[in-house]
Amino acid sequence: MQNMTLAAADPIGWHGTTILCVRRDGRVTMAGDGQVSLGQTIVKGNARKVRRIGAGTHGDGHVIAGFAGATADAFTLLERLETKLERFPNQLERACVELAKDWRTDRYLRRLEAMMAVADKDRSFTLTGNGDVLEPEDGVIAIGSGGNYALAAARALMAIDGLSAEDIARRAMKIASEICVYTNGNIIVESI
């Protein structure tokens, strides 16, 4: 596994989302916009691309996941990751590595066009179809068409004392939505 800072470039030309994960002061926040685009047309403005998965002690998920790419493909990957988390409870890294192995070697999964950002209370990872499980150096992950804008904004905001992970995520996503035409200001936020 590599340990690196990541703003996943848009290798396949996906358009239609920005996902940002910010870790600060023992909290992690993941934010995603709600826009779904088909070519140059906005087909939906309130999609939920960030969600909790995994069984939590209070019925809520202990892992936050966000996805960019084809929706059906992303849901397939979310389901697979949940299965891995059931098999390896409280072992997010192991579940991610196992999913990445399957994604890389399974003929069906290899065709999926999506990326995921996942986080629990301790660690954050980006998963790709190339078999990558990447952990950021600075606690910030961004994927999707507006990912680089959100990443740059979040890194700048990390230098400001007193901002929480959620404050940074919300402000950075607002900035990304003002720059990327495939990202809107309808932001969904989940925090642990």
Q: Kindly list the catalytic residues.
A: 17
Q: Which residue has the tokens 């600060």?
A: 24
- Cross-strand bridge partners of residue 117: 66, 126
Structure tokens at 149: 């804008």
Query: Residues near 53 by Cβ (< 8 Å), separated by ≥ 6?
Result: 61, 63, 64, 65, 78, 81, 82, 85
| C-alpha span between 141 and 151 (Å, rounded) | 7
- Cross-strand bridge partners of residue 18: 144
